[in-house]
């Protein structure tokens, strides 16, 4: 009697390899989620594809050479702080302008925060409106800033807290 070996079944490795590759890629993306969300190219592409991503502070940059504080005297004789500057959209997609946080520091302790304000972008005020007292802040401007575009801002601060020596500006996403 002759022994007959059973016929071998073919092994299908390709489906298993595809499943494993998908699992490894998904795990790698999940573990590096913050790094992917900080990548400007990835964020821009996702936004342009219609994926609703929350804005991040890192999507913007305040152009430091553009910030110019000055004092102006109004028609009633009061002095107010006027801050001009410019921000830049760092993504390759249209996004709404962020808010700017204005932080005031003490003149006796440079690390001591006295107060802070959260300021939104408004339509540019005219010189005549800025000279009037009381100052009426223009309406909020909700125009999107184009890819890699810049936007000028003007903030007028009526009342400074007591003991202010310096200030800083930082981006706060909406």
Q: Residue 87 sits in which domain range?
A: 57-172
> Residue 119 is part of a domain; what is its CATH number?
2.60.40
pLDDT tens digits, one per residue of 111-160: 889 899 999 888 878 777 777 777 777 888 888 999 999 999 988 888 88
Number of domain units in the chain: 2
Distance CA 166, CA 111 (A): 10
> Is 2 inside any structural domain?
no
Residues 42 and 61 occupy one common structural domain:
no
Ordered per-residue pLDDT tens for the chain, 174 residues: 677 777 777 778 898 999 999 999 999 989 998 888 889 999 999 999 999 888 899 999 999 899 999 988 888 888 888 899 999 999 999 999 999 999 999 888 878 898 999 998 888 787 777 777 777 778 888 889 999 999 999 888 888 888 888 899 999 988
Residues 86 and 168 occupy one common structural domain:
yes
Residues 43 and 80 occupy one common structural domain:
no
Q: Which helix (H) or strand (E) holds 118?
A: strand 113-119
pTM of structure: 0.76
């Amino acid at each position: 009697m002759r022994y007959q070996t059973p016929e071998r079944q073919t092994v299908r490795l390709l489906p298993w390899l595809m499943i494993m590759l998908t699992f490894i890629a998904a795990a790698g993306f999940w573990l590096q989620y913050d790094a992917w969300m900080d990548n400007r190219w990835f964020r821009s592409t996702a936004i342009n594809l219609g994926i609703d991503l929350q804005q991040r502070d890192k999507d913007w940059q305040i152009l430091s050479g553009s910030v110019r504080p000055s004092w102006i005297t109004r028609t009633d004789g009061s002095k107010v702080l006027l801050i001009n500057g410019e921000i830049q959209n760092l993504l390759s997609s249209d996004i709404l302008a962020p808010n700017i946080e204005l932080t005031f520091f003490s003149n006796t302790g440079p690390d001591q925060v006295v107060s802070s304000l959260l300021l939104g972008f408004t339509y540019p005020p005219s010189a005549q409106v800025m000279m009037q007292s009381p100052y009426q802040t223009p309406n909020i401007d909700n125009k999107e800033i184009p890819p890699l575009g810049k936007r000028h801002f003007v903030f007028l601060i009526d009342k400074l807290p007591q003991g202010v020596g310096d200030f800083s500006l930082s981006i706060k996403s909406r």
